[in-house]
Amino acid sequence: MNVTADSVWNNCLGFIKDNIQPQAFKTWFEPIRPVRLTDNALSIQVPSKFFYEWLEEHYVKLLKVALTKELGKNAKLVYVIKMENKYGNSEPFTEKIPSSNRSAMDPQELDVPITSKNPELKNPFVIPGIRNIKIESQLNPNYNFENFLEGDSNRLARSAGMAVANKPGGTSFNPLLIFGGVGLGKTHLAHAIGVEIKDKYPEKTVLYISAEKFTQQYIDSVKKNTRNDFIHFYQLIDALIIDDVQFLSGKSGTQDVFFHIFNHLHQNGKQVILTSDKAPVDMQDIEQRLLSRFKWGLSAELQSPDYETRVSILKNKLYRDGVEMPEEIIDHVAKNIKTNIRELEGAIISLIAQSSFNKKEVTLELAQQVVEKFVKNTKREVSIDYIQKVVSDYFEMDVATLQSKTRKRHIVQARQLAMFFAKKYTKASLASIGSQIGKRDHATVLHACKTVDNLAETDKQFRKYLEDLNKKFT
């Protein structure tokens, strides 16, 4: 029989699958790719350093048993970490051999800690004693891990958040960037990490701040000539949480100052936690050097919750409020509000209020009315970013291509359609649409809208595009 990396790994997977929870298998083993088999060493590619650490921490014994079954006593495992490297300067992969010549047979050798401890560097600016200044964390204790329910949609982000909270600054997920759409729990999770750090390490300085407030503080400091104080203040933080960093886009002064604060904290082994409404690759008007730092650690996505998670979030909410509600009502809400946990909660709160004010049972009919209102409201919320994403996906290109300066016909058409829909479905001005869709001026947008109207009348294929896309926004 021909033994290959694939066949060995497949057999290992079969064994592993039988020994762990299906969900854990899906999360931690399905993304792994076998890459090579030399003698008795199997190399597997994992998506990130985080993954590697997680496997080592939780599944090393299992991996060892599985591999030994396949390759015998001298089996070795080599991790290949897939690096995000778009610029092609350095090696796209780094290899980790669990230790020098570490063999899967040798448990104590496998147990080498991986994270390099950053030596505490002294901050040259810190005035002795200044650490006694108490910095209010601005954390919301109601946003904690306990009530941040786990589901497929948030498992990676939640686990990473936990890991960071257990060892702030001491894992490779620094920064930890949590990204995802509106109302999916970014702010909640960011607070939860901070709350947990405070709980575990009361002496650590944690600060939660929105990027918007951070920007405002920075602008004020420039006005008042206290820019240095501003920087020094932030350099004192042990765990800095900045919410909605996409807000920094286009604000080069704030980005610059944040870059310096970030570097300082990172070099000193301090933890940085960021949230954003999009992945780093899709962020616009953020300096390259900052974006590349965002990618240093782990970017973990919060996705829309699946049905089971929605039900458990609803039930948890009801339980905490001491309210009982018939299953069919919960089911109706969970089935119909799918993409936004804030709205899910909004609907149930509204139902709770109705039932307690009117002192009557919530009927399915009432639930239907409430849900309908929420669903309608969601649909109206179409952003220019969302439009660009949908149009790009439809034409199988990325947003950057859609925005590029190229004159290739199909790209121009995609861009014009995006502008047309932005005009149709958002309240943005022509100028603002133009600036967001590849930095064009208002005349270009106006021209695009007219072109789309014309083509829709004369070009059958184009009309099909328009209709298909239109369905996605209504």
- State yes or no: residue 188 binds ligand ADP (CB under 6 A): yes
Q: Residue 49 corresponds to which tokens in the numbers above?
A: 């350093």
User: Nearer to Mg ion by C-beta: 184 or 311?
Assistant: 184
User: Nearer to ligand ADP by C-beta: 210 or 255?
Assistant: 210
* Among candidate residues 304, 307, 297, the one with its CA nearest the CA of residue 185: 304
- State yes or no: residue 210 binds Mg ion (CB under 5 A): no
Residue nearest to Mg ion (CB): 187
CA end-to-end span of the chain: 56
- State yes or no: residue 148 binds ligand ADP (CB under 6 A): yes
105 by Cβ neighbours in 10 Å (0-12 / 13-18 / 19+) ranks as: middle
Reply yes or no: is the peptide bond before residue 31 cis, omega within 30 of 0: no
Q: Tell me the C-alpha distance between 43 and 247, whole Å.
A: 41
Residue 209 binding: pick among Mg ion, ligand ADP, none (C-beta 5-8 Å cut-off by kind): none
Among 26, 58, 342, 424, binds ligand ADP (CB under 6 A): 342
Residue 149 binding: pick among ligand ADP, Mg ion, none (C-beta 5-8 Å cut-off by kind): ligand ADP
Residue range at the interface with Mg ion (CB under 5 A); choices 52-60, 86-94, 183-191, 300-308: 183-191
Residue range at the interface with ligand ADP (CB under 6 A); choices 145-153, 161-169, 282-290, 348-356: 145-153
- State yes or no: residue 184 binds ligand ADP (CB under 6 A): yes
Among 149, 290, 430, 452, binds ligand ADP (CB under 6 A): 149
Q: Tell me the C-alpha distance between 210 and 187, whole Å.
A: 9
- State yes or no: residue 251 binds ligand ADP (CB under 6 A): no
Q: Tell me the C-alpha distance between 147 and 183, whole Å.
A: 15
Min separation Cβ 182 and Mg ion, Å = 8
Residue range at the interface with ligand ADP (CB under 6 A); choices 5-13, 130-138, 339-347, 408-416: 339-347
User: Nearer to ligand ADP by C-beta: 298 or 411?
Assistant: 298
Helix, strand, coil fractions of the chain, as percent rounded to 5: 55, 10, 35
Residue nearest to ligand ADP (CB): 185
Q: Are 110 and 73 in contact (CB under 8 A)?
A: no
- State yes or no: residue 186 binds ligand ADP (CB under 6 A): yes
Q: Within 10 A of 50 (CB to CB), how many other CB atoms are there?
A: 23
Q: Residue 228 corresponds to which tokens in the numbers above?
A: 């240095």
Q: Which residue has the tokens 């909605």?
A: 244
3-state secondary structure of 34: strand
* Count of residues engaged in binding Mg ion, rule: CB under 5 A: 2
Q: Within 10 A of 243 (CB to CB), how many other CB atoms are there?
A: 21
Q: Tell me the C-alpha distance between 297 and 179, whole Å.
A: 13
User: Nearer to ligand ADP by C-beta: 240 or 391?
Assistant: 240
Min separation Cβ 227 and ligand ADP, Å = 29
Q: Which residue has the tokens 């149709």?
A: 424
Quick note: the x/- pattern for ligand ADP over 297-336, rule CB under 6 A, is ----------------x-----------------------
Residue 182 binding: pick among ligand ADP, Mg ion, none (C-beta 5-8 Å cut-off by kind): ligand ADP
User: Nearer to ligand ADP by C-beta: 82 or 315?
Assistant: 315
> What does residue 262 show for φ and ψ, rounded to 5 degrees?
-55, -50
Q: Within 10 A of 330 (CB to CB), how many other CB atoms are there?
A: 20
The half-sphere exposure of 97 on its side-chain side, counting CA atoms within 13 A, is: 10
* Count of residues engaged in binding ligand ADP, rule: CB under 6 A: 16
- State yes or no: residue 187 binds Mg ion (CB under 5 A): yes
> What does residue 32 show for φ and ψ, rounded to 5 degrees?
-80, 140
The residues that touch Mg ion, with contacts defined as CB under 5 A, are: 186-187
Task: Summarize as ranges the residues that interact with ligand ADP (CB under 6 A).
Answer: 147-149, 154, 180, 182-188, 313, 341-342, 345
